[in-house]
Amino acid sequence: MQLTSLSVMVVEDHAFQRRVAIRLLEELGLTQISEAADGSSALTLLEQLKTTPPDVVLVDLDLPGMDGIEFIGHVAARKLTRAIALTSALDPALLNTVQGMARAYGLRVLGVVEKPLTAAKLAETLTQFHQAEEPASVEPQLEVHHDSLRAGLGGGEFEPFFQPKAAIDSGQIVGVEALARWRHRGHIVLPGHFIGMIERENLIDEFTERMLEAACRWHGRWAAAGVELKLSVNVSMLNLLHVDAADRYQRIVMDNGVKPRDVIIEVTESSVMSEAAHALNVLARLRLKGFGLSIDDFGTGYSSLAQLSQIPFTELKIDRGFISGAVRQPRKRAVVETSLDLARKLQLTVVAEGVETVEEWQMLAELGCQQAQGFLIAPALPGGELLAAIRNWHYPEPPRPAA
């Protein structure tokens, strides 16, 4: 899909700046452009377009009456667009907060187009609409019952897809993260639609073990083809409440011909309870058996330093929310730099998640980050497609300076 196929709404109260934005979009070849001078009229127009909503709404924050922040909240609640981008010259810290708010509402946020607008700035931001969108899934509205989950587990409907991790210094693919997918009723369903139900129905232990076993079988096939990769597998906090989990995971891994040292157990930061004795027991024993331990989505919880001080992690994954926009947002870049400095002092490998552009890759290289994961390298893929994706992966060339 080309940039010219996008439909865009411009919400800007200043008539001259609105005309400039529309003219620049037309210069980029866009023909599906609508406009509004304030939040209220924009909402009215979006309601009229609800059956064919614009792909992107470009919104200024400093609007009369209903400001852009309130407007974004209404747009998210009513699901009136596929993505938004901010157009503003306000404080970067405020813009960062608004982007975080919009994402928390469930909106895709393409970034900030700083004023004064130019065609190049608009093109760079709007291009993210296609680059950032995961292509593999159609997420149906499902009413999931215990019986369908149990049948899916028994029928092999759940399977791991694999997203590659690349070494930034060499570009070599060094590992993969196993990400659960459910092939259900002709759709590929993402974990956000079923993990919570699996946990509530007390099926999480069976589910995690099946994912681990399936991932290890694929690891063996890749090894037989001459490709050695570290394998990362996610576990739930509920998995860690049973003290025999470490023994079970070791048995599954070794029964499938994989060494524990080649497997990294990923634990989401916000899910690790620092005072849970059983969890600390299991994590310590996993490390004792040779498994790597990764703290996932670092910086998104409220106890990052406490977790790092108590648990023998070997890897730290910087959340994609800090990587996106860090090239141009000093505060986000500072978080990335600080995380890398802390990881170096703790002798942890660092993986940057959600890397989508060459500029982000180059920034991470300059800051000394070891590994990257994201759509720039590859989306999550079925195991049978991984080796081809690795062969097709090319080390990104640094962007050429503008003439």
CATH number at residue 311: 3.20.20.450
**242 CB contacts (<8 Å, ≥6 apart)?**
205, 278, 282
- One domain for residues 36 and 61: yes
Model confidence at 131, pLDDT cuts 50, 70, 90, reads low
pLDDT of residue 143: 59
pLDDT of residue 40: 94
**Identity of the highest mean pLDDT range in 62-66, 319-323, 364-368:** 364-368
**CATH at residue 33:** 3.40.50.2300
Q: 253 and 289 in contact (C-beta within 8 Å)?
A: no
- One domain for residues 167 and 315: yes
In three-state secondary structure terms, 182 is: strand
Does pLDDT of 75 surpass 60?
A: yes
- One domain for residues 296 and 329: yes
- Minimum mean pLDDT range among 5-14, 192-201, 333-342: 192-201
Structural domain contains residue 369: yes
- One domain for residues 226 and 255: yes
> What total of structural domains would you count in the chain?
2
Q: 181 and 160 in contact (C-beta within 8 Å)?
A: yes
- One domain for residues 208 and 324: yes
> Residue 301 class from Cβ within 10 Å (0-12 exposed, 13-18 middle, 19+ buried)?
middle
CA dist 314 and 293 (Å) reads 5
One-letter identity of residue 43: L
- One domain for residues 246 and 156: yes
pLDDT of residue 17: 93
> Regarding predicted confidence, which is higher, 88 or 266?
266
- One domain for residues 162 and 15: no
pLDDT of residue 302: 46
- One domain for residues 127 and 211: no
Query: What distance separates the 2 farthest-apart alpha carbons in the chain?
Result: 69
Q: Taking all residues of the chain, what is their mean pLDDT, rounded to a whole number?
A: 87
Q: Which of 63, 98, 131 is the last residue of a domain?
A: 131
- One domain for residues 123 and 159: no
- One domain for residues 182 and 54: no
Q: Which helix or strand (DSSP H or E) is residue 176 part of?
A: strand 173-184
Residue with tokens 């919570």: 196
Structural domain contains residue 136: no
Structural domain contains residue 399: no
- Minimum mean pLDDT range among 78-87, 255-264, 272-281, 368-377: 272-281
Model confidence at 311, pLDDT cuts 50, 70, 90, reads confident
Structural domain contains residue 78: yes
Q: Which of 97, 131, 165 is the last residue of a domain?
A: 131
CA dist 263 and 255 (Å) reads 14
Structural domain contains residue 397: no
> Regarding predicted confidence, which is higher, 179 or 132?
179
Q: Which amino acids are annotated catalytic?
A: 353
Q: Which of 131, 156, 182 is the last residue of a domain?
A: 131
Does pLDDT of 216 surpass 70?
A: yes
- One domain for residues 126 and 198: no
Take residue 271 and report the two structure tokens written for it. 């899910």
Does pLDDT of 402 surpass 60?
A: no
Reported as a single tens digit per residue, the pLDDT across 12-43 is: 999 999 999 999 999 999 999 999 999 999 99
In this structure, is the dihedral angle defined by the CA atoms of residues 303, 306, 309 and 312, taken in order, positive or negative? negative
Phi, psi of 18 (to 5 degrees): -65, -45
Nearest to 165 by CA among 37, 2, 366, 354: 354
Which residue blocks in 68-118 are alpha helix, DSSP H? 68-78, 92-104
**67 CB contacts (<8 Å, ≥6 apart)?**
39, 61
Phi, psi of 298 (to 5 degrees): -60, 135
Structural domain contains residue 401: no
> Regarding predicted confidence, which is higher, 134 or 99?
99
Structural domain contains residue 34: yes
Whether a cis peptide bond, with omega within 30° of 0, leads into 116 is: yes
Does pLDDT of 368 surpass 90?
A: yes
Structural domain contains residue 139: no
Orientation of helix 119-131 relative to helix 15-27, angle to 10°: 60
- One domain for residues 125 and 151: no
Reported as a single tens digit per residue, the pLDDT across 159-202 is: 999 999 999 999 999 999 999 999 988 888 888 888 888 988 89
Per the DSSP assignment, residues forming a β-bridge with 183 are 188
Angstrom CA distances, 380 to 325, 327, 377, stand at 22, 24, 10
Take residue 182 and report the two structure tokens written for it. 């459910």
Enclosing domain of residue 310: 146-392
In three-state secondary structure terms, 108 is: strand
